[in-house]
């Protein structure tokens, strides 16, 4: 998990050493990459199907073969996303059985306090931002929003992919409900990622830790003070300053 990366560079005044803190494992970084790819492909191939009555969609879906091709790509991307979900849940279950689930992502009472604090900060009632741990409430909202959205999209998507199978044991009403839920939820998710996630990782600051796996000391002290303290508190005294 989060450990300090030791930097063994000779003390040269011209070299500024930057301490980096491990944030994501290689597995988590690959998960994000595949998640990003599959969701992008799913959105790009799904939207023309949702808006089939519009002319831009009909330009893309110029022939019946294209519609079929687009559906096939959508299904392949959905299978990829399914694999990611199974892997993700598998890791969680494995960690649960080993009693080693970090639990940093679970919502806590502090998140509610942080959100309230942040709101006061944004409205100039408080001068300082709240101090965050490894994942702040914004990041937890991102995770859980996408978590449940994928859950809804996955279930509803499977129902409209295999309606004959599902109506063997579910009432028929789940088909139109799934159709409604699937396309609306997908659009909601895309809008949410664009306004919420893109803002936090691109505009507020460029946060590439999900690709590099690490955060530098400055980001840690600015945005994840509590996590920074926790790591350093546990770390050996010699590591405190470099």
Partner 1 sequence: MPKLRFPFTLRTILLAGSFILLVSILLVTTARAESPAQETESYCLSCHSDPDLSLTLPSGESLSLFIDPAKLQTSLHSPLGIECEACHTNISTYPHPEIVYQSKRELARSYYQACQKCHTDQYDKTQDSMHAHVAEAGNQNAPVCTDCHGSHYVTKPDEPRATVSQTCGHCHTDVYDAYKQSIHGDALINTDNPDVPVCTDCHGVHSIQDPRTSQFRVAEPELCAGCHANATLMGKYGLSADVYNLYKTSWHGVDVAVYEAKWPTIWHDTAVCSDCHDIHNILPADNPASTVNPANLLATCQKCHPGVGPNWTGAWTGHYKISLERTPFIYYVDVFYSSLAPAILWLSAIYVVLQIIRNTVARARRSL
Binding letters toward partner 1, positions 50-89, x by CB under 8 A: --xx----x--xxxx-------------------------
Interacting positions 19-38 with partner 1 (CB under 8 A): none
Specify the 3-state DSSP secondary structure of 139: helix
How far, in Å, CA of 185 to CA of 150, rounded? 9
Count Cβ atoms below 10 Å from residue 16 Cβ, excluding itself. Answer: 7
Number of residues interacting with partner 1: please give it, by CB under 8 A: 40
Burial class (CB in 10 A: 0-12, 13-18, 19+), 57: middle
Binding letters toward partner 1, positions 177-216, x by CB under 8 A: x-xxx--xx--x--xx--xx--x---xx------------
Contact residue for partner 1 among 15, 106, 172, 218 (CB under 8 A): 172
The answer to whether residue 114 forms part of the interface with partner 1 (CB under 8 A) is no
Specify the 3-state DSSP secondary structure of 199: helix
Whichever of 203 and 206 has its CB closer to partner 1, that residue is 203
How far, in Å, CA of 114 to CA of 116, rounded? 5
On whether the CB atoms of residues 125 and 148 are closer than 8 A, the answer is no
Binding letters toward partner 1, positions 136-155, x by CB under 8 A: -----x---x----------
- Cα separations in angstroms, 168 against 75, 158, 162, 215: 22, 14, 11, 50
Which of 3-11, 18-26, 170-178, 234-242 is the region at the interface with partner 1 (rule: CB under 8 A)? 170-178
- Give the footprint of partner 1 on this chain (CB under 8 A): 52-53, 58, 61-64, 119, 121-124, 141, 145, 163-164, 167-177, 179-181, 184-185, 188, 191-192, 195-196, 199, 203-204
């Amino acid at each position: 998990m989060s450990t300090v990366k030791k930097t063994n560079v000779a003390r040269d005044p011209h070299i500024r050493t930057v301490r980096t803190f491990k944030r994501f494992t290689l597995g988590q970084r690959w998960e994000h990459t595949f998640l990003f790819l599959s969701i992008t492909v799913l959105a790009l191939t799904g939207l023309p199907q949702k808006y089939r009555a519009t002319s831009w969609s009909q330009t893309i879906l110029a022939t019946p073969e294209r519609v079929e091709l687009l559906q096939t790509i959508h299904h392949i991307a959905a299978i990829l996303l399914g694999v990611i979900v199974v892997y993700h849940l598998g890791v969680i279950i494995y960690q649960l059985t080993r009693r080693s689930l970090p639990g940093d992502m679970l919502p806590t009472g502090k998140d509610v306090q942080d959100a309230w604090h942040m709101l006061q900060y944004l409205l100039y009632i408080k001068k300082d931002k709240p101090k965050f741990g490894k994942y702040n409430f914004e990041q937890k909202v991102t995770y859980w929003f996408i978590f449940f959205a994928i859950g809804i999209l996955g279930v509803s998507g499977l129902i409209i992919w295999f309606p004959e199978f599902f109506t063997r044991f579910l009432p028929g009403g789940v088909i139109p409900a799934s159709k409604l839920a699937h396309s609306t939820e997908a659009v909601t998710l895309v809008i949410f990622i664009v306004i919420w996630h893109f803002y936090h990782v691109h505009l507020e600051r460029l946060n590439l830790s999900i690709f590099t796996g690490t955060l530098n000391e400055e980001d840690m002290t600015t945005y994840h003070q509590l996590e920074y303290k926790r790591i350093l508190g546990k770390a050996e005294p010699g590591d405190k300053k470099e």
